[in-house]
Amino acid sequence: MSVIPKTPEEIQQMRVAGRLAAEVLDYIAPFVKPGVTTGKLNDLCHAYMVGVQGCVPAPLNYAPPGYKPFPKSICTSVNHQVCHGIPGDRLLKPGDALNIDVTVIKNGFHGDSSRMFHVGEPGIQARRLVDVTFECMWRGIAAVRPGAHLGDVGAAIQAHAEEHGYSVVREFCGHGIGRKFHEEPQVLHYGKAGTGLLLAPGMTFTIEPMINAGKAGIRELADGWTIVTKDHSLSAQWEHTVLVTERGAEVLTLSAGAPPPPAGIAA
């Protein structure tokens, strides 16, 4: 695995792209309400990214090997949808749990982040899953420091999820990011501490655990993109892009509206 640390100049560009991705999520938050379609949320985000920020929406027409081009500018995954949900005519209902995943390209660099949103008043199960998944992400971030291993990140996430009776999706993972949407390394959200890539300053990657309330099994829908839980259980995901620094981790996708870290974990 070849992971090339970013230069100071590249890191500064990553900071800009990361902040802009987070600010799209700030912008769209007030529009997440019952009766709104996921397609409308997509259109609003697209207009903001292109018209206000001067960014390129990275998901639009993104086509990795074996996939047809993704047709929208953001991903919207509702309830038992794990990831890569395609925005469309679906009306949001009270109690829905929604993940919005945003990736922007600014000056050739990518910023990638996702958040969970409750539509109206959440049920107890949805609130608990969303909260625990948020804690999982931050525990993974807290494990990032020079000399640590990627396995430390996955082990921290897996332990916290399973302690609460949840399961970790294994087919999808975090990823290196920079001039390319997906770079090395792959960042698993499960694993064994002390194993895997040795972390070094200048590395940038996403931590984006997908946690299911039921079993870990998933399947792909006929649209070729949307991933759902096999047992129709709820799923949640949070994502930040992080930089390995000399002293620990810097989260590149923070903004004024980003939820603060859980108590006991410093940003």
For residues 128 and 135, give the distance between their C-alpha atoms in angstroms, rounded to a whole number. Answer: 11
In a domain, 17, yes or no: yes
Q: DSSP of 73-96, one letter per residue? A: SSEEEETTEEE-PPPSSPBP-TT-
Cβ count within 10 A of residue 260: 10
Are the beta carbons of 260 and 267 closer than 8 angstroms? yes
The whole-number pLDDT of residue 265 equals 81
At residue 183, the pLDDT reads 97
Task: Please give the Cα distance from 210 to 212 (Å, whole number).
Answer: 7
Is 155 contained in some domain? yes
Q: What pLDDT shows up at residue 11? A: 98
Q: Determine the pLDDT at residue 267.
A: 57
HSE value, Cβ hemisphere, 13 Å, CA-based, for 8: 1
In a domain, 138, yes or no: yes
| Residue at 42 is within a domain | yes
pLDDT tens for 69-100 read 999 999 999 999 999 999 999 999 999 999 99
Flag whether pLDDT at 121 surpasses 60: yes
d(CA 108, CA 233): 38
Domain ranges, residue 204: 8-251
Look at residue 73 and tell me if it is in a domain: yes
Task: Report the domain count for the chain.
Answer: 1
In a domain, 223, yes or no: yes
Residue 262 lies in a domain: no
Residue with token string 């949307």 = 226
Closest CA to 76 of 37, 125, 104: 37
| 175-196 pLDDT per residue, tens | 999 999 999 999 999 999 999 9
263 inside domain: no
Specify the CATH number for the domain of residue 59: 3.90.230.10
